[in-house]
A = this chain, B = another copy of it.
Amino acid sequence: MKFKHKTVENVRLTDRFNTRQQIIGTIYLTSTHLIFTDPEGKRETWILHSLISSVDKLPTTQQGCPLRVRTKHFLSAEFLIPKERDCADLHATLNQLKPDSYEKLYCFLYQAPNYLEKIWDPFLPATEYMRMGAPNQHWKIEDGNSNFDMCDTYPPLIYVPTLTSKAMLFGSSKFRSRGRLPVLTYLHPNGASITRCSQPLSGFSARCQEDEQLLQCILRTNPHSNTMYIIDTRPRVSIPVKSSSLRINAVANRAAGKGYENEGYYSNIQFKFCPIENIHIMRTSLQKLLEVSDMKNPTMNQYLNALDSSSWLQHIKSVLDAAIFIARVIDIEKKNVLVHCSDGWDRTAQCCSLSSLLLCPYYRSIHGFRMLIEKEWLSFGHKFSDRCGHTTTSDNKEQSPVFLQFIEAVWQLSQIYPTAFEFNERFLISLHDHSHSCQYGNFIGNCEKDRLDLCVKERTYSFWNFILQNVNDFKNPLFRPQSSYASEVLLPVINAQTLKFWLSMYHRFDSALLPKENISNTLTRLVDHTTSLSDHARLLEKRIRELNSTFDNNQTTTTSSSSTTTSNEGVDDSDIEKRNHHNNICLPEFDSGLSDVDISQGRITNSISSKLNTILQPPPSLSDVESGFSGDYSPHNKALSSSFILPHQSSIDLNDIPTLERIALELNSIALDWRSYNAPVHCACSLPFDSAQRKYNCWRCGENYCTRCIERSIHLPGLYSNSLAPVCKTCARSIKSSPSFADFSALVKSKSTDFIRSQTAMKLSRSMIDQFINDR
């Protein structure tokens, strides 16, 4: 089908919750987007074709013909189109957009902005298993699936008990639905493990010796326990409910020759059901939830009833309950757990990934969370294309919000533990949206084999690269890796009262319902401001010390003795020690230049870590970790500042003092006050801000700017760390035109050739990995 561009003018777009607000504008239909824009171009709505979930023509009214477009990222837009024919035309065109093959997906057409390259930071499962401590005496790498012979929806390399044989594995895979035999997915520091598989083809009495042996081998990998759990994440039997016709449970599966393990055939096994409903019930539940969202002005009664009868939060709770149960067994009972559902790619993926997240703090970092998605969801074959309905080739009945439920469960946990996750809500929402958008190759196809066949890594951009390039937008300002909640196993008490309706996911386009300021954005800016100020103050303190000493030298008074006594006046020893530990500003100890970095690098002394070098980046400096800031602009490259650090005070030479020009430039480059953390109405470019938008403050003038008006990569002379900082275009121009800046800039660049690269690194990853490897 050749696509024809369309333009429809005089269209009215109504805010569905604030019906007083209307915009009149034009619809442009391009080959990839439906774009609605007002005449001044200030309010634009871009809808990617691949995100459209439904297009409905509503009954014509006197004002025109309403066309309702709903998207997979929960936008519901009602366009009032003057002419009936235009409406019908748009309706027909939009309804034919879904591609009929993978080859026509958006990712194969998408032209990314310049800063994104077609670079795929490789996911090496071996790295992740190595981090967990496998292979070891109990677990080995098995290459029997390298040609997808055992299981075509599994990764080529799988991890199985050392004692297993190829025959045993092939035997077990024949006895498991879709060949998805039990394999290792998570190994806890205490030796307990999570393995995952699909249901056995047991019917009421069938058995398989190899499968039974494999489970015994898994049991024996854990020296701490002589029993293990099998967790079936399906409901055991149907409870009669309205939609029970859709319910296929574990018992019903038995009748179909599948089902669950016969406890009589497997010894030392504790069998447990953790009931989570199937994809059909979940799909219906989401539909009902979206009907709740659509209610225009419900009474509290209607709303609570509708929310209740959607059962959405109940389903989220059942997923979390199962994950917490598994985490508790691993951490407290120290027993192995084997998890399965029917095919082991929906509920099993949810439970294994969530329980890993609870058990291991690494998965709560951005880098670690990526590993979790790559391992549990992508490599183990969650059917993204079928579940998200990427193409017309799969049945609509295959669609289900399984991945969304996982993401929401993570969000609910992040609400309970606001300091434990490195990523923010925007990250989770973005992850969800791009699992549907087909803009990046990551979520295309139903398994690794599909993506290999499609050569996505050669032909498309990677979602993770997009995240990496904009990582500051996705960081949780409250994250603190050292906090107790960030470094421990999380075993929350999930009460009905603790789960919330996720307004900013399901109503993110309905500004009338949202708080008028996004607290997380405000927090991010506050943390950035604090970082800027402490970095600046550090430089200023240094300059004062220099000037003081120089002055003293110049005066040839009794400088050295006085500078020694001053530092200690009225301060006892323990006090000095305490303050040094935290802010290094006592005079004698200050300004050792590289010491912070040296100390932190001194900690990384691990042979395994060198193997990881290919994919990992330099660690943050000590003070960076200490302050808990995760902004890209925090002083993690202090080493560079050594270029300006003068030798110890007493030996300061007049020629080493920065020029007056330089000092003026330094004082002139950092705003002490920032314009406003809260609710600025619009950017200097007159783009109106809404509460959800990411706003930036220029570090030099302190004003508010939108993404388009900020430059992200200027070295500001006023920062001790010489980090890259965001400044507005006016300030960037003005600062760059200073002659002193040229010298300064040359100096910074000469000191580090790979400076820019280190800026885009996913920080913390390496030190966290080291920590985990060291823990073993």
Contact = CB atoms under 8 A, between A and B. Distances in A.
Q: Which has the most chain B C-beta neighbours within 10 Å: A420, A513, A664, A680?
A: A664
Contacts of A495: 17, 297-298, 512-513
Interface in A716-745: 730-731, 734-741
Contacts of A530: 526, 529-530, 533
Given A498-B513, A540-B537, A569-B665, A493 B300 contact: no
B672 A538 contact: yes
Interface in A459-500: 478-480, 482-485, 493, 495-500
A565 B566 CA distance: 35
B679 A544 contact: no
Contacts of A416: 515-516
A307 B303 CA distance: 11
A735 B533 contact: no
A701 interface: yes
Nearest to A552: B660
Contacts of A516: 416-420, 485
Interface string A440-454: 000000000000000
Nearest to A482: B676
A541 interface: yes
A534 interface: yes
A583 interface: yes
A146 interface: no
Q: Which has the most chain B C-beta neighbours within 10 Å: A515, A550, A731?
A: A515
A551 interface: yes
A170 interface: no
A700 B579 contact: yes
A718 to B, nearest CB: 9
Contacts of A734: 570-572, 575
Contacts of A483: 676, 678-680
A614 to B, nearest CB: 33
Contacts of A333: none
Nearest to A417: B516
A320 to B, nearest CB: 11
B304 A317 contact: no
Given A677-B480, A734-B571, A672 B537 contact: yes
A124 interface: no
Contacts of A419: 516-517, 678-679
Interface stretch (A201-209, A623-631, A756-764): A623-631
Interface string A143-162: 00000000000000000000
A587 B569 CA distance: 32
A673 B547 contact: no
A701 B740 CA distance: 35
B628 A575 contact: no
Contact of A544 (B299, B540, B737, B741): B540
Interface in A693-723: 700-703
A93 interface: no
B308 A304 contact: yes
B570 A738 contact: yes
B671 A582 contact: yes
A717 to B, nearest CB: 12
A522 interface: yes
A482 B735 CA distance: 30
A623 B512 contact: no
A228 B678 CA distance: 37
Given A478-B522, A527-B526, A547-B547, A503 B513 contact: no
Interface string A297-332: 111111111011001011001000000000000000
A396 to B, nearest CB: 27
A668 interface: yes
A679 B517 contact: no
Given A300-B311, A679-B484, A582 B673 contact: yes
A300 B480 contact: no
Given A415-B515, A517-B418, A534-B672, A678 B480 contact: yes
A498 B506 CA distance: 13
Contact of A667 (B493, B587, B736, B738): B587
Contact of A547 (B298, B515, B522, B551): B551
A160 to B, nearest CB: 36
Contacts of A17: 493, 495
Nearest to A297: B495
Q: Which has the most chain B C-beta neighbours within 10 Å: A313, A416, A493, A663?
A: A493
A523 interface: yes
Contacts of A484: 679, 681
Q: Which has the most chain B C-beta neighbours within 10 Å: A503, A551, A578, A660?
A: A660
A303 B304 CA distance: 10
A566 B661 CA distance: 5
Given A303-B497, A480-B677, A730-B575, A663 B544 contact: yes
A623 B420 CA distance: 35
B301 A668 contact: no
A677 B523 CA distance: 11
A544 B667 CA distance: 9
Interface in A68-90: none
Contacts of A512: 493, 495
Nearest to A582: B702
A738 B571 contact: yes
A46 interface: no
A574 to B, nearest CB: 8
A127 interface: no
Contacts of A515: 415-418
A554 interface: yes
A569 B498 contact: no
A729 to B, nearest CB: 12
Contacts of A308: 300-301, 304-305, 308
Contact of A668 (B298, B497, B585): B585
A283 interface: no
16 contacts: A308-B308, A419-B678, A484-B679, A533-B533, A533-B534, A540-B540, A540-B544, A562-B660, A571-B668, A578-B701, A579-B671, A582-B703, A583-B701, A587-B664, A587-B668, A628-B676
Given A17-B495, A583-B673, 17 more contacts: A297-B496, A300-B317, A304-B304, A304-B307, A416-B516, A418-B678, A485-B516, A485-B517, A534-B673, A538-B672, A540-B544, A541-B667, A563-B660, A563-B664, A578-B730, A582-B671, A628-B676
| List of 7 A-B pairs having minimum Cβ-Cβ separation, nearest first | A570-B738, A303-B496, A566-B664, A533-B533, A540-B540, A300-B314, A419-B678
